[in-house]
């Protein structure tokens, strides 16, 4: 896999799509958790939130996929995006410090994910130049 400066991760509880974006083009890796989590519903008068924790091996796979990126944008629905950002910042701080934003995104197409990343990193570059 060629080294690209920018990476965008779209993640939910069933998969992560990692796109590397650079001058030489884009590439994509799709990862799945070893044991996908099931939706667990909270019952009244019970202890705990009713939510299953995220698969640390899954997060480690995502970490490996973005380890060579200079800037990382994480998007997705629900909590997976924030849990991944927390995991990277706490467990792999050298990679976590390269997270430039964590944003909500429902279920965009691959083309929409790449377009969003290109727009985001273009705007960020313009801000750094100003």
Give pLDDT, residue 53.
62
Which pLDDT band holds residue 122 (cuts at 50, 70, 90)? Answer: confident
Give pLDDT, residue 95.
97
Which pLDDT band holds residue 2 (cuts at 50, 70, 90)? Answer: very low
Which residues is 86 bridged to in the sheet? none
Q: How far apart are the C-alpha atoms of 36 and 91, rounded to whole Å? A: 21
Give pLDDT, residue 123.
66
CATH class belonging to 6-41+48-129: alpha beta
């Amino acid at each position: 896999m060629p080294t690209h400066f920018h990476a965008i991760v779209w993640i939910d509880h069933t998969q992560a799509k990692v796109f590397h974006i650079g001058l030489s083009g884009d590439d994509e890796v799709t990862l799945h958790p070893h044991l996908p989590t099931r939706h667990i519903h909270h019952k009244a008068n019970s202890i705990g939130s009713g939510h299953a924790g995220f698969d640390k091996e899954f997060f480690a796979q995502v970490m490996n996929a973005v380890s060579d990126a200079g800037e990382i944008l994480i998007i997705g629905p629900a909590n997976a995006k924030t849990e991944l950002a927390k995991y990277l910042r706490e467990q792999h701080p050298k990679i976590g410090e390269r997270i430039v934003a964590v944003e909500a995104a429902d279920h965009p197409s691959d083309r929409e994910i790449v377009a969003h990343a290109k727009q985001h990193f273009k705007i960020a570059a313009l801000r750094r130049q100003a």
